[in-house]
């Protein structure tokens, strides 16, 4: 049963989480957020393990539901993240606010709203005496920067689990995610030879000129039909307009639909050769997040989710997205369903928002999955 009071309680809880700023690199903020989550979760009797941050990132939390505290039996792994892309101070000009059915705030949609309703679903079940399977809920501190210090734990817990549920936001009217592209990242450096651009132009070997060729080669990888995209997103080079540049650098983000596409990309990298033999092209990087491909196990998980959504009263749809998530690390190991967070729009923007009317149905969807998965 959905009541206005339930929705208002959920919204008040989400507001408390949104009002703790937790930009990925702001370790103090991320850890304050971890404190709050641990405190809220402890209220239902859950067991909380805190993994201290390292390499300048915040603490991760591994929460075990009260009905399986002290046990590592394989069950359901819920994946959430507590960091956001919004620097400290964002709340000053982008505060939490509600207008009709829309609630705004930094990180509200991606993904404090989804993380909060998943906790609420676990608490509901704790109050009823538990669920058939053990539930572990992990809160990652560094997802928005690619999960450098959480990835290993995610893979370990994901491998041990029977199912993985990810609370990234729902898409385009409540759709959930059953496939995601993988991400491949490279840093490219070209090194040539500097010279005076006026008097000794002919003695130079321009690293920027070579980089321009290299950028165009990379951009040529984009193939919308195959679902491969390449974006050279950052570039710098040179020291002055009157100097033939000795060095240039760029950073490249490639999205791939499957592992076959990774081979295409790797062959391309192996074949890159400088146009000017006096300039070197150095490429570092590789697969960052593997593609999350729809499998039979994922189809079955989706079928159950749509059955539950149907009972709540809506038609659940699935989609494939180009964006990555922590689900990419687990999908090849264990059936993974993503996009189970709140409905809304504007992730990573200054109009980030959730739809208040989606809170209760999404909580019931999560609760239904936890109740029925065996
Ligand atoms: Zn997210």
- 169 C-alpha vs ligand 1 centroid, how far in Å? 7
Band of pLDDT at residue 322, cut at 50, 70 and 90: confident
Asked if residue 222 has pLDDT above 70, the reply is yes
- Could you read off the pLDDT of 257-291 as tens digits, one per residue? 999 999 999 999 999 999 999 999 999 999 999 99
- 251 C-alpha vs ligand 1 centroid, how far in Å? 22
Q: What is the pLDDT of residue 174?
A: 83
Non-local CB neighbours of 156 within 8 Å, separated by 6+ positions: none
- 323 C-alpha vs ligand 1 centroid, how far in Å? 10
- 243 C-alpha vs ligand 1 centroid, how far in Å? 43
| 3-class DSSP assignment, residue 235 | strand
- 50 C-alpha vs ligand 1 centroid, how far in Å? 20
- Closest C-alpha among 235, 248, 252 to residue 205: 248
Asked if residue 373 has pLDDT above 70, the reply is yes
Pull the structure tokens for residue 50: 């805190």
Q: What is the pLDDT of residue 2?
A: 52
Q: What is the pLDDT of residue 23?
A: 97
- 189 C-alpha vs ligand 1 centroid, how far in Å? 30
- Closest C-alpha among 78, 63, 57 to residue 147: 57
Measured CA to CA, the distance from residue 314 to residue 308 in angstroms comes to 9
Place of tokens 């959930």: 176
- 341 C-alpha vs ligand 1 centroid, how far in Å? 9
DSSP-assigned letter for residue 168: P
In contact, 92 and 106? CB cutoff 8 Å: no
- 181 C-alpha vs ligand 1 centroid, how far in Å? 15
- 333 C-alpha vs ligand 1 centroid, how far in Å? 21
- 88 C-alpha vs ligand 1 centroid, how far in Å? 17
- 344 C-alpha vs ligand 1 centroid, how far in Å? 13
Pull the structure tokens for residue 298: 């994922």
Pull the structure tokens for residue 284: 């570092």
Q: What is the pLDDT of residue 357?
A: 94
- 249 C-alpha vs ligand 1 centroid, how far in Å? 28
- 139 C-alpha vs ligand 1 centroid, how far in Å? 11
Band of pLDDT at residue 171, cut at 50, 70 and 90: confident
In contact, 8 and 15? CB cutoff 8 Å: no
Stretch 78-104: mean pLDDT, rounded?
98
Which residue spans within the chain are E strands per DSSP?
47-51, 60-64, 76-81, 97-99, 102-104, 135-140, 163-166, 176-180, 182-191, 195-196, 229-237, 243-244, 247-256, 280-289, 318-321, 336-337, 344-345, 353-355
Q: What is the pLDDT of residue 287?
A: 93
Measured CA to CA, the distance from residue 85 to residue 24 in angstroms comes to 7
Choosing among 3.20.20.70, 3.30.70.360, 3.40.47.40, 1.10.569.10, the CATH entry for 182-289 is 3.30.70.360
| Number of neighbouring beta carbons within 10 Å of residue 231 | 14
Measured CA to CA, the distance from residue 115 to residue 109 in angstroms comes to 10
DSSP-assigned letter for residue 338: B
Asked if residue 1 has pLDDT above 70, the reply is no
- 75 C-alpha vs ligand 1 centroid, how far in Å? 23
| 3-class DSSP assignment, residue 51 | strand
Stretch 356-369: mean pLDDT, rounded?
96
Where are the CATH 3.40.630.10 domain residues in the chain?
4-180+292-372
Query: What's the longest Cα–Cα distance across the chain?
Result: 82
Asked if residue 4 has pLDDT above 70, the reply is no
- 111 C-alpha vs ligand 1 centroid, how far in Å? 5
Where are the CATH 3.30.70.360 domain residues in the chain?
182-289
- Closest C-alpha among 108, 82, 88 to residue 21: 88
Cα torsion for 37, 38, 40, 44, to the nearest 10°? 130
- 78 C-alpha vs ligand 1 centroid, how far in Å? 13
Q: What is the mean pLDDT of the chain?
A: 95
- 59 C-alpha vs ligand 1 centroid, how far in Å? 17
Q: Tell me the fold of 4-180+292-372.
A: Aminopeptidase (3.40.630)
Measured CA to CA, the distance from residue 25 to residue 47 in angstroms comes to 27
Stretch 205-220: mean pLDDT, rounded?
98
Percentage of the chain surpassing pLDDT 90? Answer: 90
10 Å CB burial of residue 129 (0-12, 13-18, 19+) is exposed
- 340 C-alpha vs ligand 1 centroid, how far in Å? 11
Stretch 225-247: mean pLDDT, rounded?
96
Pull the structure tokens for residue 169: 């936001």
- 144 C-alpha vs ligand 1 centroid, how far in Å? 7
- Could you read off the pLDDT of 33-51 as tens digits, one per residue? 999 999 999 999 999 999 9
- 71 C-alpha vs ligand 1 centroid, how far in Å? 28
- Could you read off the pLDDT of 124-166 as tens digits, one per residue? 999 999 999 999 999 999 999 989 999 999 999 999 999 999 9
């Amino acid at each position: 049963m959905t009541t206005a009071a339930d929705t208002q309680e959920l919204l008040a809880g989400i507001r408390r989480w949104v009002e703790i700023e937790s930009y990925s690199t702001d370790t103090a903020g991320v850890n304050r957020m971890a404190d709050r989550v641990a405190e809220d979760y402890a209220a239902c009797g859950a067991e909380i393990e805190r993994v201290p941050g390292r390499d300048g990132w915040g603490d991760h939390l591994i929460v075990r539901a009260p009905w399986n505290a002290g046990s590592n039996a394989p069950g359901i792994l819920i994946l959430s993240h507590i960091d956001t892309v919004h620097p400290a101070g964002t709340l000053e000009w982008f505060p939490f606010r509600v207008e009709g059915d829309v609630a705004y705030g930094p990180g509200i949609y991606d993904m404090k709203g989804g993380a909060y309703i998943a906790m609420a679903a676990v608490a509901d079940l704790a109050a009823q005496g538990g669920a058939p399977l053990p539930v572990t809920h992990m809160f990652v501190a560094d997802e928005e920067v690619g999960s450098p210090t959480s990835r290993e734990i995610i893979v370990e817990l994901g491998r041990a689990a029977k199912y993985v549920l990810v609370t990234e936001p729902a898409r385009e009217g409540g759709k959930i995610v059953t496939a995601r592209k993988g991400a491949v990242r490279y840093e490219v450096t070209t090194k040539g030879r500097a010279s005076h651009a006026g008097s000794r132009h002919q003695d130079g070997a321009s690293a920027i000129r070579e980089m321009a060729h290299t950028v165009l080669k990379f951009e040529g990888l984009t193939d919308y039909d195959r679902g491969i995209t390449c974006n050279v997103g950052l570039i710098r080079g040179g020291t002055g307009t009157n100097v033939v540049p000795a060095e240039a650098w760029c950073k490249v983000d490639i999205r791939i639909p499957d592992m076959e596409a990774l081979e295409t990309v790797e062959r391309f990298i192996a074949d890159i050769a400088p146009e000017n033999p006096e300039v070197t092209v150095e490429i570092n990087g590789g697969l960052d997040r593997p593609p999350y491909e729809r499998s039979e196990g994922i189809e079955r998980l989706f079928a159950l989710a749509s059955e539950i959504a149907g009972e709540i009263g809506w038609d659940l749809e699935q989609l494939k997205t180009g964006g990555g998530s922590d689900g990419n690390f687990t999908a090849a190991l264990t059936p993974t369903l993503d996009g189970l967070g709140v409905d809304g729009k504007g992730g990573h923007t200054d109009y980030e928002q959730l739809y208040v009317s989606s809170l209760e149905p999404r909580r019931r969807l999560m609760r239904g999955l936890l109740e029925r998965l065996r």
